[in-house]
Every structure is written in structure tokens, then in C-alpha cells.
């Protein structure tokens, strides 16, 4: 999950076991790599106005987040095969959980549901939240960028990750219609980050072994208080 550590939230448990069964300024560094300075906050972040106020009448659930090193984060998610009300409910709950974290991106595995579903809501200036079902990267630019990343599954730590500057993905919407999208910058980073998670690749695996071990030690120390 891509997150912004600026608010706290009361998390109430919600179960999706039934659903899971039913639906399957840019800087150029010394290596000439484009480097985006980290946005406001920690991890891959956005600047959504706060507090978030949901005026929709639909009842949604804030789910607990699966925390590192839970082995479920390393399991590739299953493709969605059925597009129905249960899938739309899952997408709504993911959006609510993401906003409560608060964050700008989340996957179903982040709440313990092993399905290939991603929800992104980058900021108030974008065109709103989007749900991506069964997303796959079908093209990536040779140009690379660096971006500060993190996860609420591993709160309090983040680091720079190298990603493709632009990507094109194929996906389905919640009604099962095939779609395609090309993106750059933050959205491209988000796609790569979240699709990695759907493939069982937690973001720290993109770090060198030394950086990863240092980050894990720092996280473990923070977790012990």
C-alpha cells in the first residue's frame, strides 16, 4: 500500500473471506537518473485535503492492514474471475481503508484478500479514485526515475526505489471491461509498486541487500518501541 503518514484512524475489523471465495521539481542525479523529490509525508504520498469526508450513503468497512513480515505479503494474488456486487464491495472497502490509513494506493492483499485488485486515489487535483482489476504492465520506458516509497504494512520506514518513468498497463474495470492506461511520474510509480505487491513482491525487495537489512532492523526497533 502507498501511504501518507499524517492521520490516525480507528480500524474496525472487516472480513472478506466470503468475497475471496466468490470472486477469484525533477532532479538529475550523478548516474543521470531522473529523481523525483519525495512528496509531502512518508512513502509514496499525495496531498489529498484533510480531513477526508465521505458523503456517500453506501456503508463501507475499514479493514485491518496486514503487517510485514506476514507471509501473505509474499504470496502472488489470484486473478478475479467474477465481476459482481461482491467485487464492487471489496473495491469500496479498499478505498475506505486506504483513506483511513491514510494513503493513495492499496491492493486487496494488503487487507488479507488474495485477489488482483488495486485502488489508487492520488490527490484532489486528479480525476478521482480508480479501481484496477487484474492489472498487468505491458510496456515500460527505458528511462528510469527514483521515488521515495514505503508501505503501511511496514509503517514508519521508507527509502528510494528506482522505477520506470512511464508504463502502460492493461486491466479490467469492476464490470469486467478491458481497459488500458499509460502513465508517467507518480501514477507510473504507483502502478509498479502495487503490481509488484500483487505478484508477491514487497517493496523492500527492490532495495539492495544492505539497505534492506538496515531498514528491517530500523523497523523492528521501532516496532519494539
Cell of 2: 502507498
What is the greatest pairwise CA distance in the chain? Answer: 52
CB 161 within 8 A of CB 192: no
For 207-210, which contacts have Cβ atoms below 8 Å and span 24 or more sequence positions? Answer: 207/159, 207/161
User: d(Cα 216, Cα 13) in Å, to the nearest integer?
Assistant: 27
Torsions phi, psi for 140 (to 5 deg): -140, 140
Q: Of residues 149, 182, 194, 220, which has the active-site annotation?
A: 194
SS3 content of the chain, % helix, strand, coil (to 5): 30, 25, 45
Catalytic residue flag (residue 17): no
User: d(Cα 200, Cα 3) in Å, to the nearest integer?
Assistant: 18
CB 131 within 8 A of CB 92: no
508477491: which residue's cell?
Answer: 200
User: d(Cα 26, Cα 17) in Å, to the nearest integer?
Assistant: 43
Q: Which residues are catalytic?
A: 194
Amino acid at each position: 500500500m502507498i501511504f501518507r503518514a499524517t492521520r490516525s484512524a480507528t480500524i474496525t475489523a472487516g472480513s472478506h473471506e466470503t468475497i475471496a471465495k466468490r470472486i477469484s521539481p525533477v532532479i538529475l542525479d550523478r548516474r543521470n537518473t531522473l529523481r523525483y523529490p519525495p512528496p509531502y509525508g512518508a512513502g509514496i504520498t499525495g496531498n489529498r485535503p484533510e480531513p477526508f469526508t465521505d458523503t456517500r450513503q453506501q456503508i463501507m468497512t475499514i479493514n485491518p492492514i496486514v503487517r510485514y513480515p506476514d507471509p501473505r505479503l509474499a504470496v502472488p494474488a489470484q486473478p478475479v474471475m467474477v465481476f459482481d456486487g461482491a467485487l464492487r464491495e471489496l473495491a469500496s472497502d479498499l478505498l475506505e481503508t486506504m483513506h483511513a490509513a491514510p494513503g493513495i494506493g492499496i491492493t486487496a492483499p494488503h487487507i488479507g484478500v488474495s485477489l488482483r485488485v488495486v485502488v489508487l486515489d492520488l490527490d484532489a487535483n486528479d480525476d478521482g479514485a480508480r479501481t484496477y482489476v487484474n492489472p498487468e504492465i505491458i510496456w515500460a520506458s527505458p528511462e528510469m526515475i527514483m521515488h521515495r516509497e514505503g508501505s503501511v504494512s511496514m509503517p514508519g520506514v521508507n527509502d528510494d526505489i528506482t522505477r520506470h518513468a512511464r508504463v502502460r498497463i492493461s486491466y479490467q474495470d469492476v464490470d469486467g471491461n478491458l481497459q488500458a492506461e499509460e502513465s508517467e511520474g507518480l501514477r507510473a510509480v504507483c502502478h509498479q509498486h502495487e503490481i509488484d505487491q500483487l505478484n508477491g513482491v514487497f517493496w523492500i525487495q527492490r532495495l539492495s541487500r544492505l539497505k534492506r537489512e538496515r531498514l528491517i532492523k530500523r523497523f523492528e526497533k521501532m516496532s519494539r518501541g
